A and B are shown apart, each in its own frame.
Chain A
């Protein structure tokens, strides 16, 4: 890969200073997204600021009943956390299905969200759970955070510090797994809080999105058959070697229906 400078600051403040002072620098979290891209010489940041030693970015807390996950918390830690299991088991389920054990040992929620791969799992969950992304300088609501393909509302030197999730009444995540990448062909995260239902979809568009049609249907009746009956237009969806837009349009309501079935059964989801 191309040469770059490397810094490993001990504090968030030092990390911010480094990003400001070094031109074309990028934060490095678990490296699961950015390093493979760099190895293929498809990206060449001039400097990497490794966040791995900043303790303030790690850890899971439950401040005021919500769930707050530090940006540098690994997928493995989220999947094993009793706090996550008690508050939002579907989130633990999701984390436990990301990639493979080696990815989960290193990959982080902050890194995944900042990279915003259109088929990554976390983006679907932040949309469905109406999460807040806390950065070094502001808070960003999930709906505003996800902007485009591999692109977010983050400024070039902005660092995610933590992500907060208000616990829903019930939630589930169905990941329709892609056999080669181990990402999702389509992933659907359904969450209900009171009368509000949010449905986050990944893998089907240029970035994760909320499926308003399914949300409206499920708010009328939180019922799997109702979800199954939804006909989605294919025009905004992607076609690739894993399936056409029409296939994805067909699959999304089916996965949502299964997520609802899991919610009703009190289980948190599945990989299909």
Chain B
């Protein structure tokens, strides 16, 4: 049995010895270099663009702009996951352009591309392109996007509204609020983030005129989808003429799922010039061009009965999507956020309004957590504030409201049905592990000495395993939710698994081998896993939304079942018995009650040389199976976090003394990999909570966090001592029982730490804290509380 074991990863040897192959590592002869001219303005009309001087610079081969794109007949960077308004109106859509034509809409918006022999020549040429802009009024504050008189990002739309999504039952909620014994209200904005995978984006396209075929090496999480989008939507080329290879990819987190602006241009230029073209982003470029995340302005209220039971939740969110629509963006505040907004609590009534808006900022799209951190921040902050206001212990109020395991499957006010779980067990484990009662005692004692200790909890739901294709298409989605798997047995009995997922750090090679090895009954050393090449692997939907284990893994499991069933039938033929008379163990097929046996390898051998093959025409040679598995449902991982903090209130510095997590991620195929995912997620969740923030100047839209000097991310010394546990209820929707495991780390920390900080400062009158909880933010909260503005 391999499933359940913490087996190490085969790819580590490469990475540890510097033999990883990331896109920028690939060198091709005659490779030209590309670069992009980006707008320094957040909103401006392009009056004049003159590349004539630049074209004369040494080594310059081509310079292209929006006019060239249009002349070439190229298409659009389509939004594949739209969210219409609840009244049926389509989104007010302005897609991200490959090149801005008349106006630029965010700092970093692309106006031109330069191709030259070397990178230095590209940079010199970019310097020489003359552009005249007429700056326009800029909107960069999400909360103001729908104000009267706010600057309009896309004039032709008349306002900044993209769509309005309404969920729940406003009149039911209104009644609940009217009869509530207690109402808690808070402003709960979610800070804007940059995913910053450590490997900057890079694309290398190599078109060979002799074969009219282009290979694109791309830093992508979705090689097949990227190929389809470039061929179908952007460049109108036949799909079989483009091969996309995602070799080693240095982190993604959702940033590398998108149909980014630059990639189509790189392919186009290679095709035009008949030679390889490469573009590697600098970090400053990624901060102006990679999609960003979160950025919600939210006013929310929760209504309670006298005993602390939730009666209703009302949420009004303005969700920023940036200067243009990116691929998946509308679905994050439009679908993922609503689906998890009520969290793990029985919530009789919900009134949710989400209005997505444009602002003059870099487009927003998927980033680890996608909507769930925003939802948990709202739900959990309201609940704990209410508990304190009502004099109910924060653990106790959760006990009174948590879904019981018998409540599952649970239909939320949004309509989503949660599959299974045992939230009270998670809470008990969390509270035991953290020694909650002792922590409260310690807190009281330290308070007498003037030390400010806080304890905060976040209990929450994740949403993963996207997902049933039908569900996606009812929302107008232009992509599927299935996953492909090929189990290819070779003639010597060894196996290659081909998966349409793509690992960029999540350890698919070992995880998938564990699944296949168990289902095929073979030693794991006999199993290789291949991903990331559209020429080798059947169409897959890639890795995002914690879907690879539950969807990709199940595809592998099912394909393995078909293969082993066929092997059994062939073994029975060769052993001249009935397939039911065979046992299969330790790679051997035994005829029951005899010592007649055949190894799997011998069966494979027979499958490929056909000498003793059944003459039955329904029985084909070969031993291989490809399936496209469409999952019947999503799955619902759950987790709970507890943070213990100390606040140095004179300077606002928060230190996290200890942090606890309990996860229900369903069956754990490789516990070591899952633990790594939880911990890695915490790195980013604690980042959002404590320090990460993409900041635009509120008046000019200038990006103030344009490098790592200003965009903070946790270092090793910023991570708190951690204790984690897992209490898993297998998901009912897949035979492995797997739920997603890689995003909960990002979801809990803002709420858990935010609750802890407010807990520490409650007696000073603090009720609210802004993300990220930098010293300045905490100091402001204390200062305004003591000024009576809490």
Contacts and interface: CB of A to CB of B under 8 A. Distances in A.
Direct A/B contact, Cβ within 8 angstroms: yes
Interface of A: 40-41, 100, 176, 178-181, 185, 241-244, 247, 250-251, 254-255, 272
A247 B650 contact: no
A180 B648 contact: no
Contacts of B774: 179, 242
Contacts of A250: 779
Nearest to A244: B776
Contact of B710 (A40, A41, A181): A181
Contact of A241 (B651, B690, B695): B695
Interface in B765-783: 774-776, 779-780
Nearest to A183: B709
A180 B653 contact: no
B709 A181 contact: yes
Given A40-B284, A176-B651, A254-B651, 17 more contacts: A40-B707, A41-B123, A100-B715, A176-B653, A179-B691, A179-B718, A180-B691, A180-B713, A241-B693, A241-B710, A242-B776, A247-B652, A247-B779, A251-B651, A254-B650, A272-B651, A272-B653
A181 B691 CA distance: 12
Q: How large is the interface on B (under 10, 10 to 19, 20 to 34, 35 or more residues)?
A: 20 to 34
Contacts of A180: 691, 705, 708-713
Contacts of B704: 241
A251 B774 CA distance: 14
16 contacts: A40-B284, A41-B123, A176-B651, A179-B712, A180-B705, A180-B712, A180-B713, A181-B710, A185-B775, A241-B704, A244-B776, A247-B780, A250-B779, A251-B651, A254-B651, A272-B653
Contacts of B712: 178-180
A180 to B, nearest CB: 3
Interface string B646-670: 0010111100000000000000000
Contacts of A41: 123
A40 B648 CA distance: 37
Interface of B: 123, 284, 648, 650-653, 690-691, 693, 695, 704-705, 707-713, 715, 718, 774-776, 779-780
A41, A241, A254, most chain B CB atoms within 10 A: A241
Nearest to A100: B715
B775 A176 contact: yes
A17 B183 CA distance: 76
A179 B708 CA distance: 10
A243 B284 contact: no
A40 B705 CA distance: 15
B123 A247 contact: no
Contacts of B709: 180-181
A267 B715 CA distance: 26
Contacts of B284: 40
If over half of A's interface residues share one DSSP class (helix, strand or loop), that class is named, otherwise mixed; here it is: loop
B397 to A, nearest CB: 33
Those 6 A-B pairs whose CB atoms lie nearest each other, nearest first:
A180-B712, A179-B712, A243-B776, A179-B691, A181-B709, A254-B650
Most chain B beta carbons < 10 A, residue from A41, A178, A179, A250: A179
Contacts of B775: 176, 185, 243
Nearest to B126: A41
A7 to B, nearest CB: 21
Contacts of B690: 179
B521 to A, nearest CB: 50
A254 B648 CA distance: 11
A210 to B, nearest CB: 21
Nearest to A242: B776
Find the residue from B693, B695, B775 having the highest chain A CB count within 10 A: B775
Contacts of B779: 243, 247, 250
A241 B705 contact: yes
Contact of B648 (A185, A242, A243, A272): A272
A180 B650 CA distance: 21
Nearest to A40: B284
B719 to A, nearest CB: 12
A247 B691 contact: no
B1 to A, nearest CB: 44
B159 to A, nearest CB: 29
Contacts of A181: 709-710
A100 B704 CA distance: 23
B451 to A, nearest CB: 15
Contacts of B123: 41
A272 to B, nearest CB: 6
Contacts of B648: 272
B108 to A, nearest CB: 15
Nearest to B691: A179
B769 to A, nearest CB: 15
Contacts of B653: 176, 272
Contacts of A241: 693, 695, 704-705, 710
A3 B648 CA distance: 48
A251 B776 CA distance: 10
A247 B650 CA distance: 10
A185 B776 CA distance: 10
Contacts of B718: 179
Nearest to B708: A180
B776 A247 contact: yes
Contacts of B695: 241
Contacts of A176: 651, 653, 775
Contacts of A254: 650-651
Contacts of A255: 651
Nearest to B718: A179
A205 B665 CA distance: 50
Nearest to B711: A180
Nearest to B690: A179
A180 B287 CA distance: 14
Nearest to A246: B783
Nearest to B704: A241
A10 B711 CA distance: 40
B28 to A, nearest CB: 25
Nearest to A228: B650
A244 B776 CA distance: 8
A129 B284 CA distance: 38
Nearest to A185: B775
Nearest to B648: A272
A180 B651 CA distance: 17
Nearest to A240: B704
A93 B708 CA distance: 25
Contacts of B652: 247
Contacts of B705: 180, 241
A226 to B, nearest CB: 15
Contacts of A244: 776
A137 B650 CA distance: 45
A154 B770 CA distance: 44
B282 to A, nearest CB: 8
Nearest to A176: B651
B650, B693, B708 pick with most chain A CB within 10 angstroms: B650
A250 B786 CA distance: 15
Nearest to A177: B653
Nearest to A3: B120
B292 to A, nearest CB: 16
A20 B774 CA distance: 47
B701 to A, nearest CB: 15
A40 B707 CA distance: 10
Nearest to A41: B123
Nearest to A251: B651
Contacts of A40: 284, 707
Nearest to B709: A181
Most chain A beta-carbon neighbours within 10 Å: one of B708, B712, B713 = B712
A254 B775 CA distance: 13
A250 B653 CA distance: 14
A135 to B, nearest CB: 29
A227 B704 CA distance: 33
Contacts of B776: 242-244, 247
B120 to A, nearest CB: 8
Contacts of B713: 180
Contacts of B780: 247
A257 B3 CA distance: 58
